[in-house]
Amino acid sequence: MKHQFLKAAAVSPELKVADPAYNAKKIVEVIERQAEKGTELLVFPELCLSGYTCGDLFLQRTLLEGCLDALETVAKATAGKCMLVFVGLPVADREKLYNCAAAISGGRVLALIAKSYLPDHNEFYEGRHFSGGEDADSCIRLRSGSASLSSRVLVYDEKHPEIYIACEICEDFWVPVSPSTEHCKHGAAVVVNLSASNELIGKREYRHTLLAAQTGKNICGYVYCGAGVGESASDTVFAGNNMIYENGACLAESVPFGTGVCEAEIDVGFLLNERRRKTSYRNFPSEEKEYIWCPANFVTDADLTLRTVDPLPFVPRGEGERKERADLILNIQAQALKRRIEHTGSKTAVIGVSGGLDSTLALLVAVRAFDLLGKPREDILALSMPGFGTSLKTKNNATALMQALGVTQRQIPISQTVLKHFKDIGHDPEERNAAYENAQARYRTMILMDLANETGGLVVGTGDLSELALGWCTYNGDHMSMYAVNCSVPKTLVKYLVEAEAERLGGRAEIVLKSVLGTEISPELLPPDEGGEIAQKTEDLIGPYELNDFYLYHFLRRGDGPAKTLCLAERAFAGKYDRATLKKWLVNFYRRFFSQQFKRNCVPDGVKVGSVSLSPRADLRMPSDASAALWIEEAEKL
């Protein structure tokens, strides 16, 4: 479990109905294979030692005794292995018969978990053979020793006692209040399900729906293992459709009627962090039920091998999903701005348009908002304020965009006024320091604010989430506005929103927007180079935005520390950045994020569009004087 990732697998092995010895042999073969892969949690289907479709053969003592022999074989196969294994079998307790899952580790059976709810519908009628195990409480003698029988069992790793694994069986998952809900309330971070759900039209999709909902609301991992094609096909067929979920997201799935092997690494650290973050999770009442706590040793320190790490966590993966998400975000931004304009009675919206991505997005949002309000676009006052570093390309892009969108455009050059200001404060214009840069940004903001007062308007902020996280904004310059529409949109997402709007608008607007998308990211506060090109390139100074956004997401959204973040970054950006580069910008990220909190603690209102926001009023309560020493020290030692 490196960095609190649990390597899990669900496997539907080859089996023969009513042949426990054969089934145990095949299960042992799987255990050996998965042990070589470093699997820590291995789940097999419901009643896999006997076969689920034995029918009245479950009442035969010969079969039951054969299953106990088979269980002993499987248990011995786990000796000396760091692995927790769940297998299904029928277990007799005096006059009752239970459908059970055996939790096995270190060569012994830790506990027997009884199925609580039995299906009594068309395909299956378990009540003919089994008793519901909700109140099961017994001790079962096995071939070697004994094991507790209960429906409430939690297995934990002795070296990592915060990692609890619980189990439910098939129908338990489909009832209105699943046992797994109670298990999670008592600390289970991962739930396994030994199932024998037959395959029907639409059932696979329904499983996905249930698993997404169950793992999302319980903030847990879930390993679902279904019976495979070796079961009897007298009236039903089984597909070995196995799935592994984490907090509403499907990590892996085996193809129905395929190999029946499903593997993934569950981020238990994230699940525990998410539970701590959501106060509603720890505030619900919990029934006081007695649980059996079973220690085991199943966690290793193996490297990640299965986990797919998205290098752009803020950006939806599929083209169709990106377009749909972009339209939703733009509507959220526009509706929020519309409401603020209505509430304040503003006559105009005033925006500084540089020809860069952020101001372009803000202008597009303003246009949407005014269209929703039924107000003329001419009431949007778009200002181009060229200064010392303004390039011809960005200047032309800004002008062309204003014309294409039909807003009122104005150009107010600032260079001469700023030079006069330099003279007033005794600054040498040849000294290209913070004063040189920030004077331009603050003067632009003064123009916007004063023009808004003059026209009864509202200044629309253009800065994005990434700039706010890094403090890449001038305090009381572009740091300030009257409403910030981009404040929770990260830089890596901005370009997709602009692309989507370009496609929607078409025509001249699309041509201009594509030109904006092809422009180097820069604040343009330093003069262009000798060829008239942008000299001040943001990502050369503060690091690639794709790295900063990746670090921001894993720091705030998932609660990952430096070592885990760097490990994930190496997987996400393999072949693009080496470890030294990733580490350099990770240290820089922590240094800037902590040192720039004072800017975030006094930002204007702005609409939240995603799960990560830096608003001091709701999303990030952090003192401006917090030290980054712990994070930087860990990162520098990596």
Catalytic residues: 46, 115, 170
State the residue for tokens 């799987």: 30
Q: 475-481 contacts: CB < 8 A, separation 24 or more?
A: 475/438, 475/598, 475/599, 476/442, 476/445, 477/438, 477/441, 477/442, 477/444, 477/445, 478/352, 478/441, 478/444, 478/445, 479/599, 479/603, 480/445, 480/604, 481/445, 481/448, 481/604
3-class DSSP assignment, residue 252: strand
Beta strands in 75-141 (DSSP E): 84-93, 96-105, 108-114, 137-141
If DSSP codes are grouped into helix, strand and coil, which group holds residue 424? helix
Measured in residues, the chain has a length of: 638
Are residues 6 and 307 in contact, defined by beta-carbon separation less than 8 angstroms?
Answer: no
d(CA 267, CA 272) in angstroms, rounded, equals 9
Strand partners, 410: 383
With the CA atoms of 218, 219, 220 and 224 taken in that order, what torsion angle do they form, in degrees rounded to the nearest 10? 60
CA–CA separation, 145 and 138 (whole Å): 14
Pairing of strands 190-195, 164-169: parallel
Nearest to 546 by CA among 578, 572, 509: 572
Please report, as a single letter, which amino acid is at residue 403: Q
CA distance 611 to 121: 42
